[in-house]
Amino acid sequence: MSIRKDDIAGIGSQFAINGIFVEGEEVQSGHINTTYLATYRNEDGEIRRYIFQRINENVFSEPLVVMKNIERVTNHINRKVFRKKRDFGGQTLNLYPGKDGRNCIVGVFGGIWRCYNYIEGCRTYDVVENTRQAYQAAKAFGAFQDLVSDLPIEKVEVTIPGFHDTPRRYARLIAAMKSDACDRVKDVQKEIDFITSRESIVGVLLDHLAAGRLIERVTHNDTKLNNVMIDEQTDEAVCVIDLDTVMPGLALYDFGDLIRGATSPVAEDEPDTSKVEMRLPMFEAIVEGYLETAASFLTPLEIDLLPFSAKLISLETGIRFLTDYLEGDKYFRIHRDSHNLDRCKTQLALVKSIEDQEDKMLNFVKKWQRA
């Protein structure tokens, strides 16, 4: 889909926002939705910026349910934040309604669009630069889980069934491998062997859930480092974004995804996997940040499983990238040939790096538990 400046202005004209449209540009981030940053000038000359986002209906087959979840969660968080006068640096995520009062509009090419405030003075990072950022991001996601911990779970609907069902992801990879629709299996035998030799771990968390040892909570489900807005001046996490996958889930998948996304010195699609590494100081900073805000509601078993969760979701994400590669790159947006394969390889390298350090990771968590 290519979209012109006029189209962006046209989308904006359907939302209940003030001012004159100045400019709009695409934000090249995220693998799923299409995002634009739009600038407006109010009558008094004040500049206001907004995010317009088109929901990917290939991924979210029920965009209106996604919007209902987001509305509930942002309302819940904003009510609490205002009541307690607590606000991570002064900004929270708000939905701007359409002029008809609904939480989204039908815009160009029939797509479903929503409008958020732009979180000013902040930026996102694809690669973590220091332990402070890692700590801050983890603290923000822990705080997010804490803020929604009293939102009844039935108020949030499942928008992508089996999203973090690792056994199901694994089964889909095996099916993709068998059908080999794009004749690519021959190039990825090493990756397939790596994954299949770890089949025994894919069900561990869901088995605990089925046995009643873990419970579902309202979780974010996509706690990548670049889904948290970080203050450019202070490096403090200001606000968690990308609420599309907020659903009932396991807190552990959120924690693990933080380790996956904020411990390696290179990006998720780095072609040279020898550079991929789960760096222990980043892990420790994430544990400390996360537990600062999440320890009050986590169970001892959840805390024990923190290191394992990092390994599992890295494997799961590797499985998802490889499946998409074998199926012809239909899910994750790619920017080059073999992009999904490169992404898969970094995930598997991360799994290996975590395995090599799992004892040390566990020791750190145990030390924290005893303190």
- Is 227 an interacting residue with respect to Mg ion (CB under 5 A)? yes
Scanning 75-83, 168-176, 225-233, 313-321 for contacts with Mg ion by CB under 5 A, the matching segment is 225-233
145 binds, among ligand GN1, Mg ion, none (CB under 5 to 8 A by kind): none
14 binds, among Mg ion, ligand GN1, none (CB under 5 to 8 A by kind): none
Q: Can you tell me the distance from the alpha carbon of 238 to that of 84, in angstroms, rounded to the nearest whole number?
A: 16
Cβ closer to Mg ion: 26 or 355? 26
243 binds, among ligand GN1, Mg ion, none (CB under 5 to 8 A by kind): none
Residue 308 Cβ vs ligand GN1, minimum distance, rounded to whole Å? 18
Give me the residues paired with residue 20 across strands: 41
x/- binding map, residues 2-41, to Mg ion, per CB under 5 A?
----------------------------x-----------
Closest alpha carbon to 24 in 63, 56, 53: 53
Cβ closer to ligand GN1: 17 or 237? 237
Residue 59 Cβ vs ligand GN1, minimum distance, rounded to whole Å? 5
Q: Can you tell me the distance from the alpha carbon of 243 to that of 229, in angstroms, rounded to the nearest whole number?
A: 13
Scanning 15-23, 79-87, 117-125, 227-235 for contacts with Mg ion by CB under 5 A, the matching segment is 227-235
Q: Can you tell me the distance from the alpha carbon of 289 to that of 88, in angstroms, rounded to the nearest whole number?
A: 14
245 binds, among Mg ion, ligand GN1, none (CB under 5 to 8 A by kind): ligand GN1
112 in Cβ contact with 240 (< 8 Å): no
Cβ closer to ligand GN1: 19 or 220? 220
Summarize as ranges the residues that interact with ligand GN1 (CB under 6 A).
30-32, 59, 222, 224, 227, 242, 244-245, 268, 317
- Tracing tokens 């990879």 back to the chain, one arrives at 173
Closest alpha carbon to 169 in 23, 322, 296, 59: 322
Q: Can you tell me the distance from the alpha carbon of 249 to that of 214, in angstroms, rounded to the nearest whole number?
A: 10
317 binds, among Mg ion, ligand GN1, none (CB under 5 to 8 A by kind): ligand GN1
- Is 242 an interacting residue with respect to Mg ion (CB under 5 A)? yes
166 binds, among Mg ion, ligand GN1, none (CB under 5 to 8 A by kind): none
Residue 1 Cβ vs ligand GN1, minimum distance, rounded to whole Å? 16
- Is 317 an interacting residue with respect to Mg ion (CB under 5 A)? no
Cβ closer to Mg ion: 29 or 179? 29
Q: Can you tell me the distance from the alpha carbon of 41 to that of 185, in angstroms, rounded to the nearest whole number?
A: 53
Residue 226 Cβ vs Mg ion, minimum distance, rounded to whole Å? 6
124 in Cβ contact with 29 (< 8 Å): yes
Q: At 122, phi and psi to the nearest 5? A: -125, 165
Distances (CA, A) of 127 to 108, 209, 244: 33, 32, 22
| Angle CA 243–144–75, to nearest 5 | 65
Cβ closer to ligand GN1: 148 or 241? 241
Cβ closer to ligand GN1: 17 or 282? 282
Give me the residues paired with residue 230 across strands: 123, 237
CA torsion angle for 328, 329, 330, 331 (degrees, to 10)? Answer: 140
Q: At 149, phi and psi to the nearest 5? A: -70, -20
311 binds, among ligand GN1, Mg ion, none (CB under 5 to 8 A by kind): none
Cβ closer to Mg ion: 195 or 237? 237
320 in Cβ contact with 341 (< 8 Å): no
Binding site for Mg ion (CB under 5 A): 30, 227, 242
